[in-house]
Structure 1
Amino acid sequence: MSIIIRILVNAIALWAAVFLINGINVAATDPADQIIVYLAVGVIFGLVNAVIKPIVKTVGCAFYALTLGLVALVVNALLLMLTEWVAGLFNLPFTIDGFWPAFWGAIVIAVVSWLLSLFLPDGDD
């Protein structure tokens, strides 16, 4: 059940990024197709963050310390761009028009995910 909740949170956060940031787009026109795209990209984004992000954090821990964690913003933008590339491999109509939309989109996704996680049970209760 936790995995399904995380996928839904990622999908909602991606929707917010598409809604708020110019340069991040989902080209599906039918609402059902849009929901499927958001859920699929949410799965891809979750997998990229689960697999790649810990490796990058381990290898680049000196950069995290040197920049007081600000390099995490760049890493999150690059992981979002990687998600777009993987989504393209599956012919999903999810596009990002460069680094800056990815940068701001990653910030929106992080904030929306954090806000949603405040209202969801974390399993420790």
Structure 2
Amino acid sequence: MGIIIRLLITAVSLWITTLVIDGISLTADSTTGKIGTLLAVAVIFGVVNAVLRPIIKTIGCGLYILTLGLIAIVVNALLLLLTDWIAGQFDLGFQVDGFWPSAVLGALLIGVVSWLLNALVPDGRDRDED
């Protein structure tokens, strides 16, 4: 159940990002198409993050320390661009129009919205073990 909640939180974060950031767009025609596209892109984004983020953090740990973690913003933006490219390979209507400011601001907004929603929505891991 937790994975479904995280998928929905990511989809909502992506949706809010498409509304706020001009360079990130969702081009599906119908509401159902938009929801399907958001869910598919959320799955792609989740897989990209789950597979690549640990590898990048391990290889680039020196840069994370040197920049006090600010390199994470660049890494998140690049992962968002990779998600855009993969979504394009599947003809999904999700588009990121470049690294700066679209991908950087989009990655920041997705991170903040996801963090807020994860704090507000219980996913089953928050239970006390009494």
Give the corresponding residue for 1:21: 21
Match of 2:122 in 1: 121
CA drift at 1:29 = 1.6
Other-structure match for 2:55: 55
2:13 is paired with a residue whose SS is helix
2:122 aligns to what SS in structure 1?
A: coil
Matched, 1:96 2:96: yes
Q: Distance in 1 between matches of 2:15 and 2:41?
A: 10
Corresponding residue for residue 87 of structure 1 = 87
CA shift for structure 1 position 119 = 1.2
User: How much has 1:107 moved relative to structure 2?
Assistant: 0.4
Q: Which 5+ residue runs of structure 2 have no aligned equivalent?
A: none
Please say which structure displays the higher CA radius of gyration.
2
Distance 1:89 1:60 in 2: 28
Q: CA deviation at 1:89?
A: 1.0
Identical columns (%): 56
Secondary structure at 2:109 match in 1: helix
Q: Alignment length, in residue pairs? A: 125
Q: Secondary structure at the match of 2:95?
A: strand
For structure 1, list consecutive stretches of 5 or more residues without a partner in the other structure: none
- Once residues 92 and 42 of structure 2 are traced to their aligned partners in structure 1, the CA distance between those partners, rounded to angstroms, is 12
Residue 46 of structure 2 corresponds to: 46
CA shift at 1:11, angstroms? 0.2
SS of the residue corresponding to residue 69 of structure 1 reads: coil
Shift of 1:124: 3.6
Match for 2:97: what amino acid?
D
Note the aligned Cα RMSD (angstroms). 0.8
Q: TM-score scaled by structure 1?
A: 0.97
What does the per-residue CA deviation read over 1:9-59, in whole Å, with 9 as the maximum and x for residues that have no partner?
Answer: 110000011000011011112000000000000000000110001100000
Instruction: Provide the C-alpha distance between the structure 2 equivalents of 1:114 and 1:17, rounded to a whole number of angstroms.
Output: 14
What's 2:66 paired with? 66
Task: Report the Cα distance in structure 2 between the residues aligned to 1:89 and 1:53, rounded to whole angstroms.
Answer: 21
Partner of 1:2: 2
User: Which residue identity is paired with 1:24?
Assistant: I
2:11 aligned residue: 11
Q: Secondary structure at the match of 1:19?
A: helix
- Asked if residue 75 in structure 1 is aligned to residue 83 in structure 2, the reply is no
